[in-house]
Structure 1
Amino acid sequence: MQGCKPTNTKTAITGDAASKVFVPPGQHDEFYNFVSGGFSGQMSVYGLPSGRLLRDIPVFSVDPENGWGYSEETKPMLMTTHGFIPWDDSHHVEASMSDGV
C-alpha cells in the first residue's frame, strides 16, 4: 500500500492549530444557556448566539474528568435513601440570576 509522504512533518508535531481556532467564552456569546441533562445527571452550558457547547457540569452524577463522585469527600453527595446512586434526574435545574438575566 502506498501513500503520500509528507514533505514536512515538523508542522504536525509542533503546529499550534488549537490556539488559532480557540475562542474564549464570552468573545462571541452574549448569553449562556444552562440546560438540563435529564437522567444523565448533568447540566450543559451553551453559548448564545453561537450555540457552542461550553461545558457539561456533573450535578447529580460522577465525573471522571475531575474525580467528582469518586473521592471519599464527594461520594456522600451522591448518597440517597436507597444507597449510592451515581446519577439522578436533573430535569429542574435552578441557577441564580442577576437582574433577571
Structure 2
Amino acid sequence: MNFDFSSCGGLMQRHLDWLTGSGVPMSAIIRPEPMRLAHGFRAADSRFDHDPSSPAWLAFPEPEDCVFWEPRTGLRATAVADVISPQGPVTMGVTANGSHS
C-alpha cells in the first residue's frame, strides 16, 4: 500500500523528547519508516479521519496500512483496515490527562 502522508507532518522536538524520555530508542522512531504526526480523530469504524483542528496523533506507516495512536487517550486507528480491537486503550506510560507516568 502506498499511504499518502501529505496530510501528516514530521515530529517536533517535544514529541521526540517525550518518546525518547519514555524509553523509545531513536532507531525505532526513524526505521524502517519514520514516525509521523497527524491531526484527526478516530471514526466509528476505527479508521483515522484527518482534521487539522483535531488533536495530534502519532502515525506509524506499515506495509499494508498506517496505524495511528493518540498518546493522551490511548486510542488507536488505522488508515484503511477495520482491525483495531475495541479493547482498552494503549497507554505507553501516559496517563489519561497526558502527563507521563
TM-score, normalising length from structure 1?
0.28
Greater Rg by CA: 1
Per the normalisation by structure 2, the TM-score is 0.28
